[in-house]
């Protein structure tokens, strides 16, 4: 086998032919090309990520772990989580090698217990006293960035590939800088509602709604920016062994995506309302009520379903932005997830989940992981991740617990 | 000899190697690799069907083995059997047993777990919590324009109040009766703080005081068993359970399934209040038959024009929830009390088209025929 596999043609990146050579394991250690050669013609070898899990296999793992979680009143859930992650990591294949997760279930259990206590405190504090509620809310606000930072370190520090650990080396202060402003904005909104909102039993007046509406609009306007900053923080501070990841995405890309989403929501709404009004004002006038109902209902349901479809669209596009702007050393990553492919998978997942009272969930998880991961490919000199020192220096992750399911999907 | 890929743990370079067990040792040989490891020191990952399995070596290196049989043989040779959980996970029979456990757990949580926990919560929650649940509900109804003015009691209302007072059933909270006109039509509800409201529309529907007294007895039952707090506790628990189970699929799905479960608890609460009411009547030597008449009248109730409380567009939806807010008892978000019936269901174009019958399992109240049957089993 040649050391560098035939490259993927970037012009047809989603060509669904999974049996081609480049997906085969790179068993032979690559003999690095002489430097002169590498400079002359840098061959962009491509490695598509592959997902080898199967629904039937994961169904068994899921059922057994869920039953054990129920029997142990939730304690086993931390072990179940590790077993689930190990299954998905082990079945994520890149250039013939797979990933592994090393997190200690006890650390996860500890994190979950803390999260549970905080959640309970947050739920019941307002019933005891408003001051206590304020204290708990402020406490959550202050520790949230720290938890987020810890979770990232835990997740990446416990992920390995080819015998090398990933690590997250972002600064804690940066986590605060990124998360505190939106958290304060959110808190400010709540304070505003409580202070100027309608008292119990009172109808709020219109000016209140317009003020709140303005503030929420402001919050909506800054969301893409903070989404971008979080992604940049996550992907820009990750390391594989000693090789740093870098992230070159911009907030503008997320604003563009958000703009598209707003248009996709707004334009059909206006069209439907206009057409509906037209029909109602003309032919609809003579319709009996029963007919009118059955004319309106499918339109409302159809529009609701259409809005539901925007979720996978947004998810696919943002995955493409985030991974497309990520680099590992000199190796660039691409994600070519087509919105319609993800939508097809997620819609079928949802329908079958609903029909089977959730029993389709393990199959759904495998289907979603496959379509998402197989859209990701690596371009560039594979030596960047095939032969790099494992040197640490980053946190090992062993001593860190994970509180929330933050995922960066690698 | 089995081929594998070796990573030395110092670089990510893949070494193509072969390994062989000899006695207590594992020999790993490759182009630039020559290792001998003690079998006991090896650690094995879970073996999955389509992924290479991994063996961790004591020095930080690892072997990726594609050959399942060789992996299992080596693991056996090392005396490391698969863990119990791994054995369970690899058998379809145990997976199906796991499903049975899940179904049993779900059914018993629904039948016993949630109701028992709710009873416990009600037992330990202070009565002040009930009052707090009701706080502001009446004002809210007033602001929304659902209640008519608080005009002085009529002669009949005074008589009913007096007779109600003589029924004298301690329900753990001081209660008082008010009569108001109610946009939701014939209805009565008890707020958890002890306020019992009877709508004047209900009053008009029956000229028999005993029928109305049963309705008030039913409301006392809600207060006696603290259905407001209990309903909140149950709704919270079912929502949390369903959010945990299918919340990641869709929160709408979780809310819908939790809602169906809550409705069955709500029906149980209504039946409990009915039997409390009829016991109270019988203890006082009164008949529940007039109440059965009243229920029949409510079945065929047609609201006066302009009396409808439901926005027209909701009424137009087939099967749309045409319910007074007061009858959404058992709903966590509802601060209002417990209603006698869902008369608003019959609002709308009753005269023009057959009304949409809500199936019992989607209803907050037991089927009216069943309730009437209970009331007609009169002992007098």
| Segment A351-370 mean pLDDT | 92
Q: Which of the residues B9, B13, B147, B319 would you substitute to probe the A interface, choosing the one with the greatest number of A C-beta atoms within 10 Å?
A: B13
pLDDT tens per residue across span A155-195: 888 899 988 888 889 999 999 999 998 888 877 776 776 66
Residues of chain B found within 8 Å of residue A359, distances taken between Cβ atoms: 99
Q: Which of the residues A67, A161, A405 would you substitute to probe the B interface, choosing the one with the greatest number of B C-beta atoms within 10 Å?
A: A67
Return phi, psi of residue B81, to 5°.
-75, 155
A 10 A CB-CB count for B342 gives: 25
Residue B366 DSSP label: -
A 10 A CB-CB count for B46 gives: 18
A 10 A CB-CB count for A42 gives: 12
pLDDT at residue A50 tops 70 = yes
Q: What is the dihedral of CA A149, A153, A154, A157, to 10 degrees?
A: 170
A 10 A CB-CB count for A363 gives: 20
CB-closest option in B16, B139, B317 to A27: B16
Return phi, psi of residue A357, to 5°.
55, 40
Question: How far is the C-alpha of A120 from the C-alpha of A114, rounded, in Å?
Answer: 10
Residues 65-104 of A with CB under 8 A from B: 65-68, 70-71, 79, 83, 86-87, 90-91, 93, 96-98, 100
pLDDT of amino acid B54 = 92
Residues of chain A found within 8 Å of residue B28, distances taken between Cβ atoms: none
Give Rg (Cα) of chain B: 33
User: Given an 8 Å threshold on Cβ–Cβ distance, is A297 in contact with B317?
Assistant: yes
Output A233 or A17, whichever has higher pLDDT: A233
pLDDT of amino acid B174 = 86
pLDDT of amino acid A336 = 93
Coarse DSSP helix, strand, coil percentages of chain A, rounded to the nearest 5 percent: 60, 10, 30
Please report which residue ranges of chain B form alpha helices under DSSP H.
Answer: 68-77, 84-89, 92-108, 114-124, 127-134, 137-143, 155-167, 200-205, 209-224, 227-246, 251-283, 289-299, 312-316, 368-376
Q: How many residues does chain B have?
A: 380
Instruction: With CA atoms as reference, report the closest residue to A255 among A224, A234, A284.
Output: A224
User: Given an 8 Å threshold on Cβ–Cβ distance, is A70 in contact with B102?
Assistant: yes
- 8 Å CB contact between A145 and A181: no
Bridge partners of A12, per DSSP, are: none
Residue found under tokens 């402003």: A181
Coarse DSSP helix, strand, coil percentages of chain B, rounded to the nearest 5 percent: 50, 15, 35
pLDDT of amino acid B350 = 35
pLDDT of amino acid B315 = 41
Residue B303 DSSP label: P
pLDDT of amino acid B150 = 85
Name which of A317-321, A405-409, B243-247 the model is least confident about: A405-409
Instruction: With CA atoms as reference, report the closest residue to A30 among A386, A388, A328.
Output: A386
What SS3 state is found at B212?
Answer: helix
Strands B34-38 and B188-190: unpaired
Please report which residue ranges of A325-360 form alpha helices under DSSP H.
Answer: 339-355
| A389 and chain B in contact, CB less than 8 A | yes
Residues of chain B found within 8 Å of residue A201, distances taken between Cβ atoms: 136, 139-140, 142-143
User: Given an 8 Å threshold on Cβ–Cβ distance, is A27 in contact with B353?
Assistant: no
CA angle A396, A398, A399 (to 5 degrees): 110
Distances in Å between the Cα of B68 and the Cα atoms of A120, B2, B54, B71 are: 46, 11, 11, 5
pLDDT of amino acid A320 = 95
Output B60 or A387, whichever has higher pLDDT: B60
Burial class (CB in 10 A: 0-12, 13-18, 19+), A352: middle
pLDDT of amino acid B339 = 60
| Segment A358-364 mean pLDDT | 92
Percentage of the residues of chain A whose pLDDT score is greater than 70: 76
pLDDT at residue A41 tops 60 = no
Q: Closest-CA residue in chain B for A58?
A: B89
User: b/e string for B291-322 if b means 16 or more Cβ within 10 A?
Assistant: bbbbbebbeebebeeeebbbeeeebbeeebeb
Positions in chain B short of pLDDT 50? 306-336, 342-355, 380
pLDDT of amino acid A189 = 73
ipTM summary value: 0.73
| Segment A92-104 mean pLDDT | 89
| A381 and chain B in contact, CB less than 8 A | no
pLDDT of amino acid A365 = 93
pLDDT of amino acid A389 = 64
pLDDT of amino acid A382 = 64
What SS3 state is found at B54?
Answer: strand
Burial class (CB in 10 A: 0-12, 13-18, 19+), B271: middle
- The pTM is what? 0.77
Question: How far is the C-alpha of A90 from the C-alpha of B52, rounded, in Å?
Answer: 8
- 8 Å CB contact between A95 and A25: yes
pLDDT of amino acid B325 = 36
pLDDT of amino acid A259 = 93
| A388 and chain B in contact, CB less than 8 A | yes
Residues of chain B found within 8 Å of residue A390, distances taken between Cβ atoms: 9-12
Output A25 or B380, whichever has higher pLDDT: B380
CB-closest option in A27, A359, A389 to B10: A389
pLDDT of amino acid A144 = 82
């Amino acid at each position: 086998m040649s050391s560098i596999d035939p490259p993927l043609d970037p012009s047809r990146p989603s060509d669904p032919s999974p049996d081609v050579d480049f997906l085969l394991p790179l068993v032979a250690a690559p003999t690095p090309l002489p430097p002169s050669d590498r400079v002359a013609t840098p061959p962009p070898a491509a490695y598509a990520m592959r997902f080898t899990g199967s629904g039937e296999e994961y169904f068994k793992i899921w059922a057994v772990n869920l039953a054990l979680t129920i029997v142990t009143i939730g304690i086993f859930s931390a072990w179940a989580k590790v077993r689930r992650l190990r299954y998905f990591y082990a079945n994520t294949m890149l250039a013939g090698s797979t990933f592994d997760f090393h997190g200690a279930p006890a650390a996860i259990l500890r994190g979950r217990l803390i999260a549970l206590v905080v959640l309970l405190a947050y739920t019941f504090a307002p019933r005891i006293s408003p001051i206590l509620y304020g204290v708990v809310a402020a406490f959550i606000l202050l520790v949230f960035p720290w938890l987020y930072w810890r979770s990232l370190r835990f997740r990446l520090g416990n992920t390995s590939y080819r015998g090398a650990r990933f690590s997250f080396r972002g600064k804690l202060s940066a986590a605060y800088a990124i998360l505190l402003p939106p958290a304060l904005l959110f808190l400010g909104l709540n304070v505003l509602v409580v202070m100027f909102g309608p008292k119990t039993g009172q109808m709020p007046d219109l000016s209140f709604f317009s003020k709140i509406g303005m503030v929420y609009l402001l919050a909506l306007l800054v969301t893409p920016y903070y989404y971008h900053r979080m992604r940049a923080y996550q992907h820009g501070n990750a390391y594989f062994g000693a090789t740093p990841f870098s992230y070159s995405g911009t907030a503008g890309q997320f604003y563009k995506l958000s703009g598209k989403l707003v248009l996709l929501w707004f334009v059909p709404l206006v069209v439907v309302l206009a057409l509906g009004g037209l029909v109602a004002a003309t032919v609809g006038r003579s319709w009996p009520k029963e007919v009118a109902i059955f004319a309106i209902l499918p339109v409302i349901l159809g529009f609701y379903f259409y809005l539901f479809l925007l979720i996978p669209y947004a998810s696919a596009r943002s995955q493409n932005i985030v991974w497309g702007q990520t680099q590992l050393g000199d190796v660039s990553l691409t994600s070519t997830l087509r919105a319609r492919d993800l939508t097809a998978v997620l819609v079928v997942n949802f329908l079958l989940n609903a029909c089977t009272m959730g029993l389709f969930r393990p199959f759904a998880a495998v289907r979603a992981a496959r379509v998402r991961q197989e859209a990701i490919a690596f371009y560039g000199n594979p030596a960047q991740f095939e032969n790099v020192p494992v040197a640490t220096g980053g946190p090992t992750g062993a001593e860190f617990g994970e509180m929330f399911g933050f995922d960066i999907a690698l | 000899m089995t081929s594998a890929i070796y990573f030395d743990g110092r670089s990510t370079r893949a070494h193509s190697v072969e390994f062989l067990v000899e006695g207590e040792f594992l020999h790993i040989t490759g182009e630039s690799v020559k290792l001998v490891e003690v079998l006991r020191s090896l650690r094995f990952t879970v073996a999955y069907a389509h992924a290479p399995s991994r063996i961790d070596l004591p020095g930080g290196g690892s072997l990726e083995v594609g050959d399942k049989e060789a992996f299992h043989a080596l693991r056996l040779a090392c005396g490391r059997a698969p863990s119990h959980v791994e054995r369970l996970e690899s058998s379809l029979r145990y997976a199906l047993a796991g499903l049975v456990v899940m179904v049993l757990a779900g059914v018993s949580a629904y039948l016993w777990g949630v109701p028992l926990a709710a009873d416990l919560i009600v037992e330990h929650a202070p009565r002040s919590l009930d009052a707090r649940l009701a706080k502001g509900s009446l004002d809210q109804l007033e602001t929304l324009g659902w209640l008519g003015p608080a005009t002085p009691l009529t002669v009949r209302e005074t008589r009913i109040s007096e007779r109600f007072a003589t029924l004298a059933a301690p329900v753990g909270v001081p209660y008082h009766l008010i009569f108001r006109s109610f946009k939701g039509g014939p209805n009565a509800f008890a707020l958890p703080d002890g306020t019992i409201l009877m709508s004047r529309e209900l009053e008009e529907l029956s000229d028999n005081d005993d029928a109305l007294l049963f309705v008030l007895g039913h409301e006392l039952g809600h207060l006696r068993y603290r259905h407001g707090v209990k309903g909140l506790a149950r709704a919270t628990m079912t929502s949390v359970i369903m959010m945990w189970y299918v919340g990641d699929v869709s929160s709408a799905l979780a809310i819908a399934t939790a809602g169906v479960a809550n409705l069955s608890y709500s029906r149980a609460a209504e039946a409990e209040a009915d039997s409390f009411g009829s016991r109270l009547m019988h203890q006082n030597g009164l008949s529940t038959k007039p109440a059965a008449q009243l229920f029949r009248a409510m079945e065929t109730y047609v609201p006066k024009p302009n009396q409808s409380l439901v926005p027209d567009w909701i009424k137009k939806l087939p099967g749309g929830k045409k319910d007074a807010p007061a009858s959404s008892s058992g709903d966590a978000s509802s601060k209002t009390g417990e209603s006698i019936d869902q008369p608003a269901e019959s609002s709308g174009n009753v005269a023009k088209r057959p009304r949409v019958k809500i199936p019992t399992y989607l209803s907050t109240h037991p089927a009216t025929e069943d309730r009437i049957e209970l009331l007609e089993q009169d002992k007098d």
